[in-house]
Amino acid sequence: MTGPLILVVDDEEQIRKLLEITLHTSDFSVKAAATAKEAIIMAKTNNPDLILLDIGLPDESGQEVLKKLRQWYTKPIIILSVQSDEENIIKALDNGANDYLVKPFRTGELLARIRSSIRGIIPQSLNTHVFNHELEIDYNLRAVKKNKEIVKLTATEYDLLVLFAKNEGRVLTHQYLLREVWGPGYVNQSQYLRVFIAQLRKKIETEPNQPEYILTESRVGYRFVAKDNF
């Protein structure tokens, strides 16, 4: 067991057990904590490669734990939340969580999120970026090609795509996207985001209604995913 170390923080023993077995089987090393206090100590002593953090802990709010961890811990944190708790999810993402999973989650989804988070964010110094062997972004020329054909994007569409590409695999909240692409004064202008997402999908997706790249995260935001990238 020399795979990446994952710290599981959840107050329910059933969930800890389930996650330990699941992660062990997929060649991860696992440590588990049941309380916020334990979580902080174990994160400091073990320096895990990723933390799975339940947002509803008994002794302290998961949001607080998240803030404390983020003062020094820079590796990925994925939060576990219960259904219909979008506000908490958005808050956690704002507090520095990389991703979230809603209980009950499927094992395939869990492993995919963990792998994508550990793989990390692509270095920003690259000049070009190719996703799924077909979608190419040339950062120097500010040009985008799909299957070798130039895709004409407006400046805003291009900025949006680049932000997505540089955060591949990561969920970006509506507010974050609006702030980064349009500016702090636009965080409530969600209509722009909706229209530009639809427009961008028409240009880069093979099937705009069943997108492969820009996925909708209901009520939270969007996630850009690619099976392969170089």
Partner 1 sequence: MSKTNEVDNLPFQKFSPKKQYIVSVLSILLVASGCYFLSDLVGYRVVAFILLVTVSLIAMFFDIMPVLVAAILSALVWDFFFIPQKFTFAISSAEDLLMFLMYFVVALVNAVLTTKIRKIEKLANQKEEKENTLKLYNTLLNSLSHELRTPISTIIGATDNLQSMADKLSELNKYELISEISKASLQLDRQVGNLLNMSRLESGYIKPKNDWFDVNELIYDVLNQLKDELKNIPVHVAVKENLPLFKLDYGLVSQIVHNLVHNACTNIPKYAVITVRASCKQDKLVIVVEDTGHGFPEDEMEKVFEKFYRLKNSKTGGTGLGLSIVKGFVESMNGTVDLKNMPEGGAIFTIEIPSELSYINLNVKV
Neighbours of 207 (CB within 10 A): 8
Distance of closest approach, residue 194 Cβ to partner 1, in angstroms: 5
Nearer to partner 1, 2 or 218 (CB): 218
Q: Which distant-in-sequence residues (6+ apart) come within 8 Å of 151 by Cβ?
A: 144, 145, 203, 204
> Rounded to an integer, what distance in angstroms lies between the CA atom of residue 169 and that of residue 211?
14
Query: From the list 21, 141, 219, 230, which residue makes contact with partner 1 (rule: CB under 8 A)?
Result: 219
Nearer to partner 1, 82 or 121 (CB): 82
209 lines the binding site for partner 1 (CB under 8 A): yes
14 lines the binding site for partner 1 (CB under 8 A): no
> Rounded to an integer, what distance in angstroms lies between the CA atom of residue 134 and that of residue 224?
15
Residues of this chain, 147-166, that bind partner 1 according to CB under 8 A: 154-156
The token pair at 142 is: 């500010």
What is the per-residue binding string for partner 1 in 98-137, x denoting contact by CB under 8 A?
------x---------------------------------
Provide the CA 152 distance to its chain's centre, in angstroms: 27
> In what side-by-side order are the strands of the sheet with 214-217?
171-173, 221-224, 214-217
Nearer to partner 1, 127 or 188 (CB): 188
Query: From the list 15, 122, 143, 192, which residue makes contact with partner 1 (rule: CB under 8 A)?
Result: 192
**How many residues interact with partner 1 (rule CB under 8 A)?**
21
187 CB burial (10 A radius; 0-12, 13-18, 19+)? middle
Please choose, out of 52-60, 81-89, 117-125, 165-173, the segment that lies near partner 1 by the rule CB under 8 A.
81-89
Distance of closest approach, residue 2 Cβ to partner 1, in angstroms: 30
Q: What is the DSSP letter of 229?
A: B
Q: Identify which of 190, 173, 193, 183 has the alpha carbon closest to the alpha carbon of residue 90.
A: 173
Under the rule (CB under 8 A), what is the footprint of partner 1?
83-84, 86, 104, 154-156, 182, 190-192, 194-195, 197-199, 209-210, 216, 218-219
